[in-house]
Amino acid sequence: MSVYVDEGFRPCVTECATVAFRVCFDDRALIFEVSADALVTYCGAASKRRRDLLVAFEDAQFEILSVAARKGAAKPDEPVEPVRLDLDEFRMVRH
């Protein structure tokens, strides 16, 4: 299965302090949000400021995509809400 971050949907910081992005799978696309806590803890964000979160997202895009791919594979139906990636999802993949 081909899984990649959609370059046409630029990652952005939401008002809930998450970085939203879209992942394309072979047959569908899903919106994900990575929490600021996960970006600080697992992706090396220096702080929860907008710029630091976006830099950490770009630097750790491969790791974030692997977490999103596992979570997205478990969601066969397209959810109305973005799929949230928090500390627990990163902990599961890392360990």
Distance CA 21, CA 13 (A): 9
Q: Does residue 89 surpass a pLDDT of 60?
A: yes
Q: Does residue 80 surpass a pLDDT of 90?
A: no
One-character DSSP codes across 19-86: EEEEEE-SS-EEEEEEEHHHHHHHH--SSSSHHHHHHHHHHTHHHHHHHHHHHHHT--S--SSPEEE-
Distance CA 71, CA 93 (A): 10
- What pLDDT was estimated at residue 92? 82
Please identify, in words, the CATH class of the domain defined by 4-94. alpha beta
pLDDT in tens, 18-77: 999 999 988 788 999 999 999 999 999 999 999 999 999 999 999 999 999 888 877 666
Higher pLDDT, 77 or 16: 16
Amino acid at 45: A
pTM assigned to the model: 0.87
